[in-house]
Amino acid sequence: MPPEKYADRTLTIYFPEKEEFHELLEAAIAKRLRTSHFAREMIRRGMESESAPRPDLLQESSQTREELSRLRRELKDKSAAIEKMETELYQLRHQSVLQPSGQDHYSEDLIDLLKEGRTWRGADLLKELGVDPQNRIALDIITKQLQNLQDLRLIEENPRGWKWIG
């Protein structure tokens, strides 16, 4: 609290970020001024350079923020739709794996990923293949392929994930 004699001429400023506050302090120190004098001078200069906020810039800024928000929502929606379609495509290509008399078909993408030589966690494989982890059928297809490849001794499962050994 300021002394009572200054109570009718004080201004309290809250900064949105600590960094902005520290920048002001550092700038005041660099100019060898007390913070209050520095802030008052910056406010005065701002008032002299432009007497009032420009409504056209405020409106443009608001419209830009709204458009950005709309585009982010669209991107999120389209990304979700793409992921769903990739999962369905994977499922359609490889559903014969689940058939008891079905021929063993293996995803070339899965085999290429495994052949890279690194150990793959299940979640990373799903992400790389563009498969939705919530899609039970697609998970069954991938699991069956991994088990068949393991039975053929082409891959092994260790605590860190799946690795090509073939």
CATH number for the 85-164 domain, one of 2.60.40, 1.10.3470, 1.10.150, 1.10.10?
1.10.10
Query: Residues 17-74: pLDDT tens digits?
Result: 999 999 999 999 999 999 888 988 988 887 777 656 677 877 888 899 999 999 999 9
For the chain, the structural domain boundaries read 4-50, 85-164
Question: Which pLDDT score is estimated for 100?
Answer: 59
Question: Is 113:125 a contact under the CB 8 Å cutoff?
Answer: yes
Report the run of H or E that residue 158 belongs to, with start and end. strand 155-158
Record the pTM.
0.45
Would you tell me how many other CB atoms lie within 10 Å of the CB of residue 134? 9
Quote the CA–CA distance of 12 and 25 in Å, as a whole number. Answer: 15
